[in-house]
Amino acid sequence: MGSAPIEDYALLGDLHTAALLGRDGSIDWLCLPRFDSPACFAALLHDESAGYWRLAPAAGGPATRRGYRGDTLIVDSEWDTDGGTVRITDFMPPRGKVADVVRIVEGVSGRVQMRMDLAIRFDYGSVVPWVRRSDGGLIAVAGPDTVCLTSPVTMRGENLTTVAEFEVSAGEKVPFVLTHVASHLLPDAARSEATRALGKTISFWQNWIDQCSYRGQWSDAVRRAVITLKALTYAPTGGIVAAATTSLPECLGGVRNWDYRYCWLRDATFALQALLGTGYVAEAKAWREWLVRAVAGDPAKLQIMYGLDGTRRLPEQTLDWLSGYEGSAPVRVGNGAAGQFQLDVWGEVLDGLNLALDSGLECEDTAWDIQRALLDFLEGNWDRPDASLWEVRGPQRHFVHSKVMAWAGVDRAVHAVQAHGREGPVDAWRALAETIHADVCEHGFDAERGTFTQYYGSAGLDSALLLIPRVGFLPWDDPRVVGTVDAVQRELSSDGFLRRYETDDSDSDGDVDGLPGTEGAFLVCTFWLADALHGIGRRDEARALFERLLGLRNDVGLLSEEYDTAARRQIGNTPQAFSMVGLVNTARGLSGEATRTRNH
């Protein structure tokens, strides 16, 4: 069978890992026990032989209707069939001792023939487990993993797949509970009881969303976005993964396929703005604390991303036995960009920690010591070429956004001294900020065209240039800002949505990112455009663009990384934290609730 569209998938999660559930009742992606663990269902990146779990009417087909149950991460899917209507409720209870996926089949009317197909394939589809029967279900074991399935229905083996056929009538409920434990533990130790787990899960999400302070327009969209952001948070450490998946392509059939199941430092400020701006101080504090722990150490060895627990080594490898989503190979795990020099990250970290300080989050003295060390590194390295925030795999260059963020990091240090009484050589920092500022304005601005450029000496543009006024480098009404917004909108637009940059950098000695092919419109960049249009006074246009962006969400309110304007499809890893954070922050800005990182 072919791959389902990316927008067909809803997210389930337990704050340790996540699953993707299709409209057809199939879970095609699940990594256990963590976001970054090997998948036991990887049909998303190959076919059913890589593992899946389908539970649906025997007649098959997509659900007639589905949706999250209120402000929760519980999905109700209903099928209208010739025999009647059936509902399946899917969820993952917030993690206790073990990971559970719970599926409850409920007859709504009539009598419906049902079928379950379960193919567990550990290690991204490469390992078929040894399966044995147990009381009330089965146990599958291979290497470090054990998965147990408990249900009252009779199951049988069929072509290395576990199947069950049963009927459900109105008012009848049939539960299925899939539990993962380490293979050296007793598998019967802590399985969830379905009905009790459902009640606890409803209570958890209701209590959590009650803390949301956002009351502006687009409240439903913002609430779903912050729920998704919470679902992408690894609860033990507070780290927020960029997405729940790896290798969903930025171009269908192409090679721009990356593993996003890690925590990027540059997401810090944007995520903190979204969390603090919607009332989630505890989550913001946990993310800030993860950030401080992750960056501790030699500032010269700061990485752009880390593992969920701050792990530094994320070696990239390809899984050649997987064909990739719609043939988009290679499938990668790990991320080689972790070793790149990306100058902007030093500024992003300093900006994020400054935002936390301005917001009143208590901060240990060690956090300021770390910032001082980061500033020392910036002082000696701000003028180096780098790989940019887009992690290009072409030549390093003097990217304008990177220099702007270096300026922002130094500027925030001056602010910390002046506004919060921190100790430091403020005169030297102020002079350094002025030097960087002058350098960018001299070498990164094209006076003839009236716009900043992607990198020094380039004629190309970059959507990240829209952040120049947002971080306070220049005011919104500066003609250079207005000219840049106009140029970026004009030259990087694809049906009104923005690409990050031109992948064919014809004014230089080759492609700017060193990769073949193209990519879709980058959704967070288009949210930045809406922010920028609002900032320069084109507010009706900003709101219209934001409404168009909301229209790209799937039926359960999720956004992936990019959008293919020709195919009219979501592409890239999903759901993408950067996209959901962009939605929250833009909604706050257009509603008048946003707080900039600095006001100049």
The full set of domain ranges for the chain reads 6-207, 211-591
Check if the beta carbon of residue 523 is closer than 8 Å to that of residue 254: no
- The label of the residue with tokens 């993707």 reads 20
3-state secondary structure of 377: helix
Q: How many residues does the chain have?
A: 600
Is the CB of residue 102 less than 8 Å from the CB of residue 72?
no
Q: Are 352 and 288 in contact (CB under 8 A)?
A: yes
CB-facing half-sphere around the CA of 517: CA atoms within 13 A: 13
DSSP 172: -
The residues, ordered by sequence, that sit 6+ positions from 251 with a Cβ below 8 Å of its Cβ are 328, 517, 518, 519, 520, 564, 571
Q: Dihedral of the CA atoms 20, 47, 331, 511 (nearest 10)?
A: -100
Question: What phi and psi, each to the nearest 5 degrees, are found at residue 26?
Answer: -105, 130
CA distance 338 to 318: 16
What whole-number distance in Å separates Cα of residue 347 and Cα of residue 436? 12
| pLDDT at residue 183, as a whole number | 87
Distance from C-alpha of 166 to C-alpha of 107, rounded to nearest angstrom: 12
Q: What is the pTM of this model?
A: 0.95
Helix (H, G, I), strand (E, B) or coil at 531: helix
- From residue 44, alpha-carbon distances to 70, 516, 580 in Å are 27, 23, 22
Vertex 581: Cα angle to 4 and 369 (nearest 5): 130
Q: In tens digits, what is the pLDDT along the chain, a chain of 600 residues? A: 567 999 999 999 999 999 999 999 999 999 999 999 999 999 999 999 999 999 999 999 999 999 999 999 999 999 999 999 999 999 999 998 899 999 999 999 999 999 999 999 999 999 999 999 988 899 999 999 999 999 999 999 999 999 999 999 999 999 999 999 988 876 655 567 999 999 999 999 999 999 999 999 999 999 999 999 999 999 999 999 999 999 999 999 999 999 999 999 988 889 999 999 999 999 999 998 998 888 888 888 889 999 999 999 999 999 999 999 999 999 999 998 888 999 999 999 999 999 998 988 876 677 888 899 999 999 999 999 999 999 887 899 999 999 999 999 999 999 999 999 999 999 999 999 999 999 999 999 999 999 999 999 999 999 999 999 999 999 999 999 999 999 999 999 999 999 999 876 444 444 676 676 678 999 999 999 999 999 999 999 999 999 999 999 999 999 999 999 999 999 999 999 999 999 999 999 999 876 444 433
Instruction: Say if CB 188 and CB 181 are below 8 A apart.
Output: no
Tokens at residue 179, please? 């539990």
**C-alpha–C-alpha distance, residues 449 and 483, integer Å:** 8
488 near 451, Cβ under 8 Å?
yes
What's the confidence (pLDDT) of residue 596? 44
For residue 373, give both structure tokens.
Answer: 């060390």
- DSSP state letters, 111-153: EEEEEEEEE--HHHHTBPPEEEEETTEEEEEETTEEEEEE-SS
Residue 299 DSSP class: G
DSSP 315-359: --EE-TT---GGG----EES-GGGGS--THHHHHHHHHHHHHHHT
Q: Write out the E strands in 499-553.
A: 521-522
Q: What is the distance between the alpha carbons of residues 139 and 181, in angstroms, rounded to a whole number?
A: 11
Buried residues in 499-533 as b, exposed as e (16+ CB within 10 A): bbbbbebeebeebbbebeeebbbbbbbbbbbbbbb
Residue 83 CA to residue 214 CA, distance in Å, equals 44
The pair of structure tokens assigned to 41 is 């269902």
The CATH architecture that domain 6-207 belongs to is Distorted Sandwich (2.70)
End-to-end CA distance of the chain: 56
Contact (Cβ atoms closer than 8 angstroms) between residue 223 and residue 212? yes
CATH fold for the domain made of 211-591: Glycosyltransferase (1.50.10)
Tokens of 592: 């008048």
Q: Do domains 6-207 and 211-591 have the same CATH topology?
A: no
Give the single-character DSSP code of 557: S
CA angle centred on 146, ends 141 and 148, rounded to 5°: 100
**What distance in Å separates the CA atoms of residue 191 and residue 101, rounded to the nearest whole number?**
10
- Amino acid 39 reads A
Cβ atoms 471, 501 nearer than 8 A: no
CA atoms of 152 and 436, how far apart (whole Å): 68
Give the residue among 366, 236, 356, 368 at the shortest CA–CA distance from 284: 356
Determine which helix (DSSP H) or strand (DSSP E) holds 262, and give its type and residue range.
none
- The torsion of the CA quartet 327, 330, 335, 340, rounded to 10 degrees, works out to -110
Distances (CA, A) of 559 to 26, 267, 495: 20, 16, 18
DSSP per-residue string spanning 441-489: HHHSEETTTTEE-SBTT----BGGGGGTTTTTSS-TT-HHHHHHHHHHH
